[in-house]
Amino acid sequence: MHSLRLISSSSTGPIYRLIYFNLKGRAETSRMMFKVAGVEFEDFRIDQKRWAEFKHMAPQGILPVLEVNGKKLPQSGAINRYIARELGFYGCNNWEASRIDAVVETIGDCLHDLDIWWMIRDLDVRNKLQKHHEGKLIPKALARLDQLLEENSEGRGFLVGDKISLADIHAMNYIHDYLPTLHNIKAEDSFPRLGDHARRIAEVSQIKEWIKIRPFSKF
Ligand SMILES: N[C@@H](CCC(=O)N[C@@H](CS)C(=O)NCC(=O)O)C(=O)O
Protein backbone atom coordinates (compact mmCIF):
# COMPACT_ATOMS: atom_id res chain seq x y z
CA MET A 1 0.00 0.00 0.00
CA HIS A 2 3.04 2.27 -0.50
CA SER A 3 1.16 4.75 -2.65
CA LEU A 4 -1.24 5.62 0.16
CA ARG A 5 -0.48 8.84 1.96
CA LEU A 6 1.99 8.67 4.81
CA ILE A 7 0.60 8.84 8.31
CA SER A 8 2.20 10.51 11.24
CA SER A 9 1.86 9.73 14.91
CA SER A 10 2.86 11.70 17.94
CA SER A 11 3.39 8.54 19.97
CA THR A 12 6.74 6.79 20.16
CA GLY A 13 5.20 3.34 19.59
CA PRO A 14 4.89 1.60 16.25
CA ILE A 15 2.79 3.22 13.56
CA TYR A 16 -0.19 1.01 12.88
CA ARG A 17 -2.43 1.15 9.87
CA LEU A 18 -5.27 -1.32 9.51
CA ILE A 19 -6.47 -1.56 5.93
CA TYR A 20 -9.85 -3.03 5.11
CA PHE A 21 -13.10 -2.22 3.38
CA ASN A 22 -15.83 -0.17 5.03
CA LEU A 23 -17.01 -3.27 6.83
CA LYS A 24 -16.88 -4.60 10.33
CA GLY A 25 -16.27 -8.14 9.02
CA ARG A 26 -12.77 -9.43 9.57
CA ALA A 27 -11.31 -6.22 10.98
CA GLU A 28 -13.62 -5.20 13.80
CA THR A 29 -12.00 -7.31 16.51
CA SER A 30 -8.63 -5.75 15.66
CA ARG A 31 -10.09 -2.24 15.67
CA MET A 32 -11.65 -2.86 19.05
CA MET A 33 -8.43 -4.13 20.59
CA PHE A 34 -6.71 -0.90 19.52
CA LYS A 35 -9.58 1.08 20.99
CA VAL A 36 -9.63 -0.77 24.32
CA ALA A 37 -5.85 -0.47 24.63
CA GLY A 38 -6.02 3.24 23.77
CA VAL A 39 -3.43 2.75 21.03
CA GLU A 40 -3.56 4.96 17.97
CA PHE A 41 -4.02 3.34 14.58
CA GLU A 42 -5.15 4.46 11.19
CA ASP A 43 -8.47 2.88 10.32
CA PHE A 44 -7.92 2.93 6.56
CA ARG A 45 -11.03 1.91 4.61
CA ILE A 46 -10.85 1.21 0.90
CA ASP A 47 -13.93 1.87 -1.16
CA GLN A 48 -14.88 -1.52 -2.60
CA LYS A 49 -15.47 0.13 -5.98
CA ARG A 50 -11.77 1.08 -6.06
CA TRP A 51 -10.47 -2.25 -4.80
CA ALA A 52 -9.05 -3.28 -8.21
CA GLU A 53 -6.60 -0.34 -7.98
CA PHE A 54 -5.31 -1.50 -4.59
CA LYS A 55 -5.55 -5.27 -4.75
CA HIS A 56 -2.03 -5.79 -6.16
CA MET A 57 -0.57 -3.92 -3.18
CA ALA A 58 -2.07 -6.28 -0.61
CA PRO A 59 0.41 -9.11 0.12
CA GLN A 60 -2.08 -11.89 -0.67
CA GLY A 61 -4.44 -9.80 -2.76
CA ILE A 62 -6.92 -9.79 0.12
CA LEU A 63 -7.87 -7.64 3.08
CA PRO A 64 -7.46 -6.96 5.94
CA VAL A 65 -3.81 -6.02 6.04
CA LEU A 66 -2.10 -4.63 9.10
CA GLU A 67 0.84 -2.32 8.49
CA VAL A 68 3.31 -2.00 11.34
CA ASN A 69 5.83 0.73 10.59
CA GLY A 70 5.13 0.08 6.91
CA LYS A 71 5.59 -3.71 7.10
CA LYS A 72 2.51 -5.60 5.94
CA LEU A 73 0.80 -8.49 7.66
CA PRO A 74 -2.08 -10.32 5.93
CA GLN A 75 -4.74 -12.70 7.34
CA SER A 76 -7.18 -11.51 9.97
CA GLY A 77 -6.40 -14.39 12.35
CA ALA A 78 -2.69 -13.57 12.31
CA ILE A 79 -3.45 -9.86 12.63
CA ASN A 80 -5.74 -10.41 15.61
CA ARG A 81 -3.18 -12.55 17.38
CA TYR A 82 -0.35 -10.13 16.61
CA ILE A 83 -2.30 -7.22 18.08
CA ALA A 84 -3.45 -9.35 21.01
CA ARG A 85 0.14 -10.32 21.86
CA GLU A 86 1.44 -6.77 21.45
CA LEU A 87 -1.33 -5.05 23.40
CA GLY A 88 -2.05 -7.57 26.15
CA PHE A 89 -5.18 -9.36 24.93
CA TYR A 90 -3.66 -12.84 24.68
CA GLY A 91 -3.88 -14.10 28.26
CA CYS A 92 -1.21 -14.38 30.91
CA ASN A 93 0.42 -17.64 29.89
CA ASN A 94 0.50 -20.25 27.15
CA TRP A 95 -2.51 -22.07 28.60
CA GLU A 96 -4.65 -18.95 28.56
CA ALA A 97 -3.45 -18.07 25.05
CA SER A 98 -4.48 -21.53 23.91
CA ARG A 99 -7.89 -21.24 25.56
CA ILE A 100 -8.29 -17.94 23.71
CA ASP A 101 -7.40 -19.78 20.51
CA ALA A 102 -10.08 -22.35 21.32
CA VAL A 103 -12.72 -19.60 21.48
CA VAL A 104 -11.52 -18.03 18.24
CA GLU A 105 -11.45 -21.42 16.48
CA THR A 106 -14.98 -22.22 17.66
CA ILE A 107 -16.22 -19.04 16.04
CA GLY A 108 -13.96 -19.73 13.05
CA ASP A 109 -15.84 -22.98 12.39
CA CYS A 110 -18.98 -20.94 11.79
CA LEU A 111 -17.31 -18.20 9.80
CA HIS A 112 -15.64 -20.72 7.51
CA ASP A 113 -19.01 -22.21 6.78
CA LEU A 114 -20.42 -18.78 6.12
CA ASP A 115 -17.70 -18.16 3.52
CA ILE A 116 -18.84 -21.23 1.61
CA TRP A 117 -22.45 -20.10 1.87
CA TRP A 118 -21.61 -16.67 0.38
CA MET A 119 -20.03 -18.30 -2.66
CA ILE A 120 -22.94 -20.55 -3.54
CA ARG A 121 -25.13 -19.08 -6.26
CA ASP A 122 -27.64 -21.93 -6.60
CA LEU A 123 -30.53 -20.68 -4.47
CA ASP A 124 -31.79 -24.11 -3.53
CA VAL A 125 -28.39 -25.28 -2.31
CA ARG A 126 -27.85 -21.94 -0.61
CA ASN A 127 -31.12 -22.18 1.31
CA LYS A 128 -30.40 -25.74 2.41
CA LEU A 129 -26.96 -24.79 3.61
CA GLN A 130 -28.34 -21.76 5.43
CA LYS A 131 -30.90 -23.94 7.20
CA HIS A 132 -28.19 -26.37 8.24
CA HIS A 133 -25.89 -23.55 9.33
CA GLU A 134 -28.51 -21.75 11.39
CA GLY A 135 -30.35 -24.78 12.67
CA LYS A 136 -27.42 -27.03 13.54
CA LEU A 137 -23.95 -25.51 13.28
CA ILE A 138 -24.55 -22.19 15.00
CA PRO A 139 -26.44 -23.68 17.98
CA LYS A 140 -23.65 -26.26 18.39
CA ALA A 141 -20.97 -23.56 18.27
CA LEU A 142 -22.90 -21.42 20.75
CA ALA A 143 -23.22 -24.37 23.13
CA ARG A 144 -19.45 -24.88 22.91
CA LEU A 145 -18.79 -21.20 23.57
CA ASP A 146 -21.23 -21.27 26.46
CA GLN A 147 -19.37 -24.21 27.95
CA LEU A 148 -16.02 -22.42 27.61
CA LEU A 149 -17.56 -19.41 29.33
CA GLU A 150 -19.05 -21.52 32.10
CA GLU A 151 -15.68 -23.16 32.75
CA ASN A 152 -14.19 -19.76 33.56
CA SER A 153 -15.63 -18.20 36.75
CA GLU A 154 -18.93 -19.93 36.06
CA GLY A 155 -19.51 -17.53 33.23
CA ARG A 156 -19.75 -14.40 35.31
CA GLY A 157 -16.48 -12.90 34.12
CA PHE A 158 -14.42 -13.24 30.98
CA LEU A 159 -14.10 -16.16 28.61
CA VAL A 160 -10.50 -16.75 29.64
CA GLY A 161 -8.60 -15.66 32.75
CA ASP A 162 -9.56 -12.57 34.69
CA LYS A 163 -9.21 -9.78 32.16
CA ILE A 164 -10.61 -8.89 28.78
CA SER A 165 -8.95 -10.71 25.90
CA LEU A 166 -9.16 -11.29 22.19
CA ALA A 167 -11.63 -14.11 23.00
CA ASP A 168 -14.14 -11.75 24.65
CA ILE A 169 -13.98 -9.14 21.93
CA HIS A 170 -14.17 -11.67 19.10
CA ALA A 171 -17.09 -13.52 20.70
CA MET A 172 -18.91 -10.27 21.40
CA ASN A 173 -18.59 -9.19 17.76
CA TYR A 174 -19.92 -12.52 16.59
CA ILE A 175 -22.83 -12.60 19.01
CA HIS A 176 -23.64 -8.91 18.99
CA ASP A 177 -23.20 -8.23 15.27
CA TYR A 178 -22.90 -11.25 13.01
CA LEU A 179 -25.65 -13.39 14.45
CA PRO A 180 -28.47 -10.83 14.57
CA THR A 181 -27.50 -9.15 11.27
CA LEU A 182 -26.73 -12.14 9.10
CA HIS A 183 -28.84 -14.85 10.68
CA ASN A 184 -31.48 -13.09 12.71
CA ILE A 185 -30.29 -15.11 15.70
CA LYS A 186 -30.25 -13.73 19.21
CA ALA A 187 -27.82 -15.86 21.19
CA GLU A 188 -29.38 -14.73 24.47
CA ASP A 189 -32.65 -16.48 23.63
CA SER A 190 -31.04 -19.90 24.01
CA PHE A 191 -27.84 -19.02 25.83
CA PRO A 192 -28.57 -16.22 28.32
CA ARG A 193 -25.11 -16.49 29.88
CA LEU A 194 -23.44 -15.86 26.50
CA GLY A 195 -25.84 -13.03 25.76
CA ASP A 196 -25.01 -11.47 29.10
CA HIS A 197 -21.30 -11.81 28.43
CA ALA A 198 -21.65 -10.09 25.02
CA ARG A 199 -23.69 -7.32 26.63
CA ARG A 200 -21.07 -6.77 29.33
CA ILE A 201 -18.22 -6.64 26.79
CA ALA A 202 -20.18 -4.22 24.59
CA GLU A 203 -20.52 -2.02 27.70
CA VAL A 204 -16.74 -1.68 28.20
CA SER A 205 -16.38 2.08 27.92
CA GLN A 206 -14.00 2.23 24.95
CA ILE A 207 -16.04 -0.37 23.05
CA LYS A 208 -19.31 1.35 23.84
CA GLU A 209 -17.89 4.65 22.61
CA TRP A 210 -16.49 3.05 19.43
CA ILE A 211 -19.79 1.36 18.62
CA LYS A 212 -21.44 4.79 18.90
CA ILE A 213 -19.06 6.61 16.57
CA ARG A 214 -17.77 3.99 14.11
CA PRO A 215 -18.55 4.42 10.43
CA PHE A 216 -21.78 2.71 9.47
CA SER A 217 -21.66 -0.62 7.73
CA LYS A 218 -24.24 -3.38 7.76
CA PHE A 219 -21.75 -6.24 8.17
N1 LIG B 1 -8.49 -15.73 5.41
C2 LIG B 1 -8.47 -14.33 5.05
C3 LIG B 1 -9.63 -14.07 4.11
C4 LIG B 1 -9.63 -12.63 3.65
C5 LIG B 1 -10.73 -12.34 2.66
O6 LIG B 1 -11.35 -13.22 2.06
N7 LIG B 1 -10.96 -11.03 2.49
C8 LIG B 1 -11.96 -10.58 1.57
C9 LIG B 1 -12.80 -9.50 2.24
S10 LIG B 1 -13.58 -10.08 3.70
C11 LIG B 1 -11.26 -9.93 0.38
O12 LIG B 1 -10.19 -9.36 0.51
N13 LIG B 1 -11.90 -9.99 -0.78
C14 LIG B 1 -11.42 -9.32 -1.95
C15 LIG B 1 -10.75 -10.21 -2.94
O16 LIG B 1 -10.64 -11.44 -2.70
O17 LIG B 1 -10.32 -9.69 -3.97
C18 LIG B 1 -8.53 -13.46 6.32
O19 LIG B 1 -9.14 -13.90 7.31
O20 LIG B 1 -7.96 -12.37 6.32
For position 51, which CATH number holds?
3.40.30.10
CA of 59 to the centre of ligand 1 (A): 11
Give CA–CA dist 20/75, Å, rounded.
Answer: 11
Same domain, 195 and 138: yes
Give CA–CA dist 202/173, Å, rounded.
Answer: 9
What pLDDT is attached to residue 190?
95
What pLDDT is attached to residue 14?
98
Same domain, 83 and 103: no
Q: Is 43 among the domain residues?
A: yes
What is the residue range of 137's domain?
A: 94-204
* Percent of the chain surpassing pLDDT 70: 95
pLDDT per residue as tens digits for the range 161-195: 999 999 999 999 999 999 999 899 999 999 999 99
What pLDDT is attached to residue 111?
87
Give CA–CA dist 66/76, Å, rounded.
Answer: 9
CA of 63 to the centre of ligand 1 (A): 5
Q: Mean pLDDT over residues 129-144, rounded?
A: 93
Q: Mean pLDDT over residues 49-65, rounded?
A: 97
Which domain CATH number covers 197? Answer: 1.20.1050.10
* Percent of the chain surpassing pLDDT 90: 85
Same domain, 32 and 53: yes
Same domain, 136 and 111: yes
Q: 88, 108, 140 — which closes off a domain?
A: 88
What pLDDT is attached to residue 8?
42
Same domain, 145 and 184: yes
Q: Is 40 among the domain residues?
A: yes
Q: 48, 66, 88 — which closes off a domain?
A: 88
Q: Is 120 among the domain residues?
A: yes
Q: 61, 88, 115 — which closes off a domain?
A: 88
Res. 10: pLDDT tops 60: no
What pLDDT is attached to residue 4?
46
What pLDDT is attached to residue 9?
45
Phi, psi of 211 (to 5 degrees): -60, -35
- Computed on alpha carbons and rounded to an integer, the radius of gyration of the chain in Å comes to 18
Res. 31: pLDDT tops 50: yes
75 C-beta closer than 6 A to ligand 1: yes
Same domain, 134 and 196: yes
> Who has greater pLDDT, 5 or 141?
141
Same domain, 176 and 161: yes
Compute CA distances 187 → 50, 142, 152, 170, whole Å: 36, 7, 19, 14
Provide the domain count of the chain: 2
From 63, 170, 182, 219, give the residue whose CB has the most ligand 1 atoms within 8 Å, as the site to mutate. Answer: 63
